Amino acid sequence: MTETVVNRSYVDKDGIVTFTCPKCGESRRESVERYKNQTGPIKIGCHCLNVYETQLNFRQLPRKETFLGGVYFRTSHPGDWGEMIIRDLSIGGCKFETIKACDLTPGEEIKLEFILDDPRSSILKKKAVVLHVTGCHVVCKFSAAQGAFDSELGFYLKNRK
């Protein structure tokens, strides 16, 4: 029997991934070396005879899905801004969707302001660099001083389910 749900398996800093069968729950750790040239989901066979698909995720900082409102500002075009919804968030960056068509470009510096859905409705302000744009979907990396850590965002991500 084949599972059709594609889950994600995170690769650690040593190139080791833990595969967990969605049917029986059995886990096994394995080097990702044999999968490094494959794109898209990979098929994993379990001892219980279940075959399932998983997407390898090489992110050092896992992202959490969100639905957070905010605005972005183009630093190279003063006065040019737009509304956005942050769809996923990590300590190092985010993916957001603009409400209207955008003309952001990779490498462009932007400023983000968004409201966390925590008990205090905390407002975060971040500088970021655009990495990728597809239509209204934008992926960016937060700019921070060397060694700086945003404790408020870190606490939010750690405690968010």
Per residue in 6-57, pLDDT tens? Answer: 677 778 778 888 888 889 888 899 998 888 777 788 999 999 999 999 888 7
Residues 69, 137 share a domain: yes
Q: What is the phi/psi pair of residue 110, to 5°? A: -135, 165
Three-state DSSP class for residue 34: helix
Give tens-digit pLDDT for 89-133.
Answer: 988 899 999 999 888 999 999 999 999 999 989 999 999 999 999
- 110 and 37, same domain (yes or no): no
CA 50 to chain centre: 28
Query: Is residue 46 located within the same domain as residue 110?
Result: no
Report the alpha-carbon distance of residue 118 to residue 139 in Å, rounded: 23
The model carries a pTM of 0.63
Question: How many independent structural domains does the chain possess?
Answer: 2
